[in-house]
Structure 1
């Protein structure tokens, strides 16, 4: 990985504007003894060079950006972030991203606020935002990127493809041959990896998923309730369903309950994540566990490493998934 770009200084702006450092300082500090034309020129150069000031507190605060409402998944990641940040005494600021601001304005605001880095959790960080943060000299680490991150963006995820394979192997070992997939957003990279691992394993075993038994909706509870209901109401419903998240799985279990179906006696359900929902739901949920807290911890450690000007060994880190068997899966009824 390349080192971070040098931060613009008053001297940098003064040289580009052809004025003195004192004049640039006056503009930065809001002094009124600068002509309107010179002020406008200097302000534009400040934006172009992503000038953020001295940034004396830049090593103390990480901004964590979430997309959508906080849920069981994001709470687990946040626990890991807070644990890792507490060790070196780093503060954590939560936000919903740039909102209506332009990418440049948001990145400059983040830098001027003294953030040493940004961690984006399951958020669609646009190329414009990534570039703006880089120009503002603010490192970015993406957790579970919705789309594959480029080589210039550092990211942390889990072995989603292997997780899909694990789910398929577990259900096949129980004797299920008519299986369904109820996943999250179709364009999400993690969803596609889980689905591809699941599908490939079943096809290799000679039990491909019927087209009508594969749905890609959202990672939320409503997808399990409504999409799961559609699967259960199909003419030849599945005996087992792999849900792309714990929230989907819990919604699916409720859809079964409303139809008088029992889990796992009538339908086996396996989730993905291993949040607290997996233990709290009834029956307790069999899951492919991804180490969400560790993903948060790795993201913080990586962000601090980049903030210190160090390079990282890989721009993308994948942590291993594993199977946790509870009470929501069983052999199909004969």
Structure 2
């Protein structure tokens, strides 16, 4: 073998993944003793050990990518899967971290980065962060930030276009009284979904009725309360667009409790396409945002920064698409 031996050469010769080589030479847990021994024997045979140690000392790296989450819920879980796919077969491990930030106001990410950077992680991916600036020496990328693109590289879905498509779908079915259950007022993507809903109605010449707009804040009880108010009205909507899937599912449950049939009496469409959306007895029509792809793109940005290269596009917006299932139909005559 000519040239400098790489970790990929070791992995190929030992018949294991690059991640397994990294764990074996760094003494991490989760690998069988026999596998560790085989990797270390291969390292010695190929003369990789000395260059690995020298590189590690120069870089002072931990070999870990951190994903900072406000909470472990379906959206962030799918993003984690996407980051995991990108990290698989690399020399990096993945750490998912949700620090204690309840009641502490905005800026939980800064505190988490302060605890983790340089000692536990080499780079961080922040999911729906409240801030998009951080005084840290490690590379940081933000997914779906509250305020949109700013100091950090960011990745998000096209919430405005998705909401426009969702509302137009209901309009094309013949609905004119279309309710909207908004998400968190402080989250930029939620604001864009509200704007997309309003633009679709305006484009169709349908007046916006404030009585048809409720705020769910992506919280179950708040959503259920708003849904009851909407559906109890004498001039209730014939369709509802909810700003995320969990809110849409809550609307369906409330409607059924009130004796309304979905989609015969009420059409419902969500946003996200979390796994539960397609697994329900009545599969949910929704706007699919590429959640795993968000994680993969963010991880690719991190790897570019760790390699000392500049990112070509620092603020990436990924397209969404309509997935029609069983919860939307033409309104009853």
Tell me what 2:68 maps to. 65
Shift of the 96–235 alpha-carbon distance from structure 1 to 2, 3 Å rule, reads same
Shift of the 255–103 alpha-carbon distance from structure 1 to 2, 3 Å rule, reads closer
SS in structure 2 at match of 1:209: coil
Tell me what 1:32 maps to. none
Q: State whether structure 2 residue 302 is matched by structure 1 residue 303.
A: yes
SS in structure 1 at match of 2:325: coil
Moved more, 268-277 or 97-106: 97-106
TM-score, with structure 2 as normaliser? 0.77
Q: State whether structure 2 residue 116 is matched by structure 1 residue 110.
A: yes
Following superposition, the deviation at residue 97 of structure 1 comes to 3.9
Following superposition, the deviation at residue 76 of structure 1 comes to 1.1
CA–CA separation in structure 1 for the residues paired with 2:100 and 2:224: 32
Tell me what 2:171 maps to. 172
CA–CA separation in structure 2 for the residues paired with 1:262 and 1:95: 41
Following superposition, the deviation at residue 62 of structure 1 comes to 0.9
Tell me what 1:247 maps to. 246
Q: State whether structure 2 residue 292 is matched by structure 1 residue 293.
A: yes
Aligned ranges 1:225-264 → 2 under 5 Å: 225-264=224-263
Shift of the 107–78 alpha-carbon distance from structure 1 to 2, 3 Å rule, reads closer
SS in structure 1 at match of 2:179: strand
User: How many residues matched?
Assistant: 273
Shift of the 265–88 alpha-carbon distance from structure 1 to 2, 3 Å rule, reads same
Tell me what 2:139 maps to. 139
CA–CA separation in structure 1 for the residues paired with 2:110 and 2:210: 43
Name the Cα RMSD after superposition: 2.1
Q: Structure 1 runs of 4+ off > 6 angstroms?
A: 100-105
Q: State whether structure 2 residue 60 is matched by structure 1 residue 56.
A: yes
Q: State whether structure 2 residue 82 is matched by structure 1 residue 80.
A: yes
Which structure exhibits the higher relative contact order, with contacts defined as CA atoms closer than 8 Å and separated by 6 or more residues?
Answer: 1
Shift of the 289–117 alpha-carbon distance from structure 1 to 2, 3 Å rule, reads same
CA–CA separation in structure 2 for the residues paired with 1:191 and 1:104: 23
Tell me what 2:162 maps to. 163
CA–CA separation in structure 2 for the residues paired with 1:231 and 1:299: 38
Shift of the 176–105 alpha-carbon distance from structure 1 to 2, 3 Å rule, reads closer
TM-score, with structure 1 as normaliser? 0.77
CA–CA separation in structure 1 for the residues paired with 2:180 and 2:108: 38
SS in structure 1 at match of 2:65: strand
Q: State whether structure 2 residue 316 is matched by structure 1 residue 314.
A: no
Following superposition, the deviation at residue 123 of structure 1 comes to 2.5
